Amino acid sequence: MSDSKIPGLDAIAPGLEASLRRRLHDMEARLERALACDLSLLLDASVYLFQAGGKRIRPSLVFLAGHLGNPAEEALTEGAAAIELTHLASLYHDDVIDGARLRRGVPAAHEKWGVKTAILTGDFLFARATGLVAALGREASDLIARTVSQLCEGQIREVTSWGDATISEAAYFEIVRRKTASLFGASCRMGGLLSGASRQDQEHLEAYGLALGVAFQLSDDLLDIQGNGTWLGKNSGVDLAGGWYTLPVIHALAHGKWKGELSALLASGPPQGESLRRAREIVGAEESLLGTQSRVRAAVAEAKERAARLSRRQIAPVFAFLADLVAGRCKAAAP
């Protein structure tokens, strides 16, 4: 189901790619069992995005973080499934809020079954995630609860900033840290927690995940402007048209050569038609993207610095490699 292969991973850690794919296969089987229910509509809707594929980045982080303790720990499979369910639930809700038409290359759930079914399916997935993690102990349950709270807060912050061309860079990063980075951090901490890693390693893992999540979201921002829907698995260019002003837009408004023109284009609300085309052209200019690329590199550097502090030095290069992959996907790799 997944397209979870990580090109180049075996060159860093021979045999790890095959091991990771086996663990992900086990996780997918566990997730399918968790979604079993008697109502055919709910079953079809709940497995829809899961079966559509995805890179399984977050559960992969759970298993990789498990190498700071016992990587064979069976509880890692449950934890990874709970993390992926939480992520899937957030996608159903996000797509309704954003009015997205595509997700993972297929019509969004609300396009296929309607808004009410999509929202309730997201609720169902959150419930199944909490059910899975409940058996893993208080700390794991608290971690998921805290993460879901942060996801919701990040989404609300984003909704209230809709169409606001005056949003500050600081305010935008608060959204990113909660809506995207929190689940990356939770994924890494979950792996450390369930594998029996030390408290210090758990802290470094979570900090690594938070930095990686920031880099990942900023790379998505760049890809949306650059028009690479293949990487995104959804339509590109939708953020600007939908009134979601991401970091490239913020930088173009603050520092770009055509900031006055862009400000005028956004003054009356999200641009459409020729105004949208011109706004994308302005934001997509190389000089307008340099600031975001710089922030991607800074987040990647922070993630790699945290990886270097991990107690098991042999796994640190893997985490550094993943951070570099995130930078590479949006052409923000260090020269």
- Is 124 a domain residue? yes
- Is 160 a domain residue? yes
- Is 8 a domain residue? no
Question: What is the phi-psi region of residue 108: left when phi exceeds 0, alpha when psi lies from -120 to 50, beta otherwise?
Answer: beta
- Is 30 a domain residue? yes
Our count of domains for the chain comes to 1
Supply the pLDDT for residue 208.
Answer: 98
The structure's pTM equals 0.93
Supply the pLDDT for residue 231.
Answer: 46
Cα separation, 247 vs 257, whole angstroms: 16
Where b means 16+ CB within 10 Å and e means fewer, 248-266 reads bbbbbbeebebeeebeebb
The span from the first CA to the last CA of the chain, in angstroms, equals 35
- Is 95 a domain residue? yes
Domain containing residue 274: CATH number: 1.10.600.10
- Is 3 a domain residue? no
Q: What is the dihedral of CA 197, 85, 51, 57, to 10 degrees?
A: -40
Supply the pLDDT for residue 52.
Answer: 85
Tens digit of pLDDT at every position of the chain (335 positions): 555 668 788 888 989 999 999 999 999 999 999 999 999 999 999 998 888 878 899 999 999 999 999 999 999 999 999 999 999 999 999 999 888 888 877 888 899 899 999 999 999 999 999 999 999 999 999 999 999 999 999 999 999 999 999 999 999 999 999 999 999 999 999 999 999 999 999 999 999 999 999 999 999 999 888 775 444 454 566 788 889 999 999 999 998 899 999 999 999 888 999 999 999 999 988 777 889 999 999 999 999 999 999 999 899 999 999 999 999 888 777 65
- Is 319 a domain residue? yes
Supply the pLDDT for residue 101.
Answer: 82
Integer CA distances (angstroms), 265 to 93, 160, 223, 235, 253, in order: 29, 20, 22, 22, 11
DSSP class of residue 67?
Answer: G
Amino acid identity at 175: I
Enclosing domain of residue 180:
13-329
- Is 216 a domain residue? yes
Integer CA distances (angstroms), 111 to 11, 42, 119, 295, 304, in order: 41, 15, 12, 34, 39
